Structure 1
Amino acid sequence: MGAKMLDEIEADFPEHTPRPSHAPTALDGIRVVDFSHFIAGPFATMMLADMGAEVIKIEAPGRGDDLRRYPPVDPRLKHGAPFLWTNRNKRSVAIDLKSPEGVEVARDLIRTADVVVENFSTGVMDRFGLGYENCRRIRPSIIYCSVSAYGREGPFSDRLGFDPIAQVESGFVSMNGYPDREGVRALSPVMDISTAMMACNAVLGALVARERTGAGQAIEVSLFDNAVLMTGYASMQQLFTGADPQRHGNTSPDTCPSGVFQGKDGAFYINCGNDKIFQRLMSNVIDRPDLASSDLYATGPDRIRRREELFAILGDAFAQYPWSHWQSRMRAAGVPCGKVRTVGEAIRSPEARERGIVTRIPHETLGWVPNVNLPIRFSHTPIVDPVAAPAVGQHKELVLRDVLGYDDEHVTRLAEAGAFGADASSQAIKV
């Protein structure tokens, strides 16, 4: 993501449109102390930040969150595109949690907080003295969200977990791909993203519960638990039939015709989820009302049994005209369809531009950076204007002064003790 590349795409994406200046936010006044790293935790806290929460990201001095080094890395930013994608609207404070003085700063922040989020390996926060029981003593109303691989208790609690491991162990990979080869993982970190969504939902639910009861609580979201959920209704189907899902490529085991077809100038997907859609496809799109009314294709199971012959009929028809021809006919007929796009085509598509999904936002070093917005639209409490992901420790002085009320002498004493890392102890720090 170099300067040249950014210059080349500047015309592709509009500047962010600011929210109404006096509109409230959904989570105004909520403070989150975020000890998480990589994707599942930080994406959850980013969603909270987008809704108006103040998120203070705790990072290791110097190195910071390991996701910073995921490519492509811009040397001027010292972090890469993935980090930008999941850490906007946060303040970064670099604290050495292996230092007693650093832990004391973290405890002071927790004392002011509504929510703590962490996704360290099991036992790490307890070793720092920052586990739930300790945090509850610091702040009785705290909502403490742990994102783990296999849970915080039990025989698997020590296992490390990343998105691809959750994909394979949950059965998700076994369902995807083609029947003549091994299952394939989703390249997108779908388990991390969906786990983040679950964690965000859990925090929001706990905040509502605290409003009603006054009590905080511990929350746990497991990557593996979530991954099993992400197999969809396949788990329930397996329980009813005893049969594992088979890989069907781009076709569907449940509906037909659903799959990828080739038009004269490219590929597109259609999804006939019920009998009426199939009938509209045949009558109004490819001009074959005889097939729409044929007993051979009357029901979904009938069509699935005759998938090959039905796909051949459709394939011959679709090859005669380009996508634009078929898109207009299917849209008019109410047949769900979509062009098979690359990621680059998708984010530059008319649909993406209309929805304002990708915009340009200011950046103090680069001038601007791209931003991918959340798919949430609030009518009364719009999400906050995006601020690009911070540098490691960028907001340390600001947070220590404004949130904790530390004076210069206090900060200097903490720095000399190593609270902010070895480098900070050799520098004069002014707030």
Structure 2
Amino acid sequence: MKPLQDVRIISLEQYGAGPFGSVHLADLGAEIIKIEDPGVGGDVGRYVPPYAQGEDSLFFETFNRNKRSLSLDLTSEAGREIFEELVRRSDVVYSNLRGDVPAKMRIRYDDLKHLNPAIVCCSLTGFGMTGPRAAEPGYDYILQGLAGWMSLTGDPDGPPTKSGLSLVDYSGGFVAAISLLAGLHAARRDGIGGDCDVSLYDTAVSMLTYPATWHLNEGYRPARTRNSAHPSLVPFQLFQARDTWFVVGCAKEKFWQRLTTVIGRPDLATDSRFATFAQRQRNSEELLAELDRIFAEETAEHWLSLFGPAGVPCGPVNDVEQALREPHTVARGLVVETEHPNLGTVRQVASPVRFGTETPTYRRAPLRNEDFDLVTREILNLDPTRVEELAARGAFGPDGVRKPAKTAGGARAAAGSGTSL
């Protein structure tokens, strides 16, 4: 069995942050049942351009492999009945919504504990379910600015800069997954579930880590650094060789000693200005000017070919194509394939979360409402007459018991990631 094969999660998720958190659980074997709103065409991630066909997109495939899909209108009484039956048979209700929405939708622990006292209700929201911003929508870009990240990113003479990836979203997804697993462990131990009130905002602020500690205790004011330099360790940054950029990081004194030997300047290691971490930081302008001059004399490949064997932490500045072709990427099995009826063979990156020695397996993301029969017949054991009655009462939205289309239809444009409105 896969590690989480005995876990069932009802997921009210969309876009990036929520689905990113749960896809790792799905890869570990958890049964993730995505509840998709039939009134809006399901998860809006299905329609994110530019690589979208009908109700399927490469964006959606990235975050939803190994999951199940059920179209369910939770605003209808009949849809709520089915949802509550699923709660009785599940371990977790997981969502990424605006902070005031879980209460409105009645998906918190106090709303559901009468159905299943051990249910865990994990809500990943923009700003949490309490506080002055609880009712505001939260998105990665906004939070990178609000939490101080952008003030730390980019060169000193440039504008504040966001990360090239949605790191608040993805970090928030990991935090939600960890919280969910902690809640599940406690519920199975004690028989009592509860709420996981986690947010993108909390995640972003907590990741300020040691610069925040330095500021809170010593008044340190972080600032952007030239060539993405580490705020205190020197040298630990980008350097420009004769042809392109590369990274060198001396996070220990032994690495600095090795570096000076490799570049033919052992005198720098014994120079009183550069002998220790503190002295190198104090005299960084002089030291970095000398290193810039030395590194500009040869190619990046030349320096990396010397640093690697000498045990000096270093690396090239790859683009995405180069990173995906790296021999180590291939060796670690980080590019995987699934087969999709509309998109064909879909290649994407694997989850980094691993347990045991068994090779992970992957199933493509579900078509919308693809698992209608699985949920209604196998999980809920509903007879056809009951299904038709629920459909007539609007449980499954305007399409009733609509089955997923096998061919692509018209495309709808949508964009964004993070927590939904």
The equivalent residue for 1:286 is 263
User: Where in structure 2 are the equivalents of 1:4-403 lying within 5 Å?
Assistant: 24-61=1-38, 63-75=41-53, 78-249=55-226, 250-283=228-261, 285-379=262-356, 382=358, 384-403=360-379
Amino acid at match of 2:366: P
Deviation at 1:354, TM superposition (A): 1.4
Deviation at 1:174, TM superposition (A): 1.2
Aligned-partner Cα distance in 1 for 2:253–2:99: 50
How many residue pairs were aligned? 402
- The higher-RCO structure (CA 8 Å, 6+ apart) is 2
The equivalent residue for 1:415 is 391
What secondary structure is seen at the aligned counterpart in 2 of 1:278? helix
Identity %: 37
Aligned-partner Cα distance in 2 for 1:344–1:70: 22
CA distance 1:27–1:65, shift in 2 (3 Å): same
Deviation at 1:282, TM superposition (A): 0.5
Deviation at 1:236, TM superposition (A): 0.3
Deviation at 1:278, TM superposition (A): 1.1
Aligned-partner Cα distance in 1 for 2:37–2:335: 30
CA distance 1:293–1:373, shift in 2 (3 Å): same
CA contact under 8 A between 1:33 and 1:116: conserved in structure 2?
A: yes
Aligned-partner Cα distance in 2 for 1:128–1:251: 46
The superposition leaves residues 224-245 of structure 1 with CA deviations (integer Å, 9 ceiling, x where unpaired) of: 1110012221110101221320
The superposition leaves residues 350-397 of structure 1 with CA deviations (integer Å, 9 ceiling, x where unpaired) of: 1211111112222233331012111123225x4741111112211112
Deviation at 1:221, TM superposition (A): 0.6
Aligned-partner Cα distance in 2 for 1:240–1:276: 30
What do you get for the CA RMSD once the two structures are aligned? 1.9
Deviation at 1:428, TM superposition (A): 9.6
CA distance 1:130–1:217, shift in 2 (3 Å): closer
Unaligned runs of 5+ in 1: 1-23
Q: TM-score if structure 1 supplies the norm length?
A: 0.88
CA contact under 8 A between 1:57 and 1:93: conserved in structure 2?
A: yes
The equivalent residue for 2:407 is none
What secondary structure is seen at the aligned counterpart in 2 of 1:423? coil
The superposition leaves residues 283-307 of structure 1 with CA deviations (integer Å, 9 ceiling, x where unpaired) of: 1x10111112111211122222332
What secondary structure is seen at the aligned counterpart in 2 of 1:277? helix
The superposition leaves residues 19-40 of structure 1 with CA deviations (integer Å, 9 ceiling, x where unpaired) of: xxxxx21112110000122222
CA distance 1:428–1:290, shift in 2 (3 Å): closer
Deviation at 1:417, TM superposition (A): 1.8
The superposition leaves residues 34-74 of structure 1 with CA deviations (integer Å, 9 ceiling, x where unpaired) of: 01222222112111111111110001115111222222233
Amino acid at match of 1:209: A
Amino acid at match of 2:245: A
Aligned-partner Cα distance in 1 for 2:106–2:242: 64
Unaligned runs of 5+ in 2: 405-421
Aligned-partner Cα distance in 1 for 2:387–2:354: 41
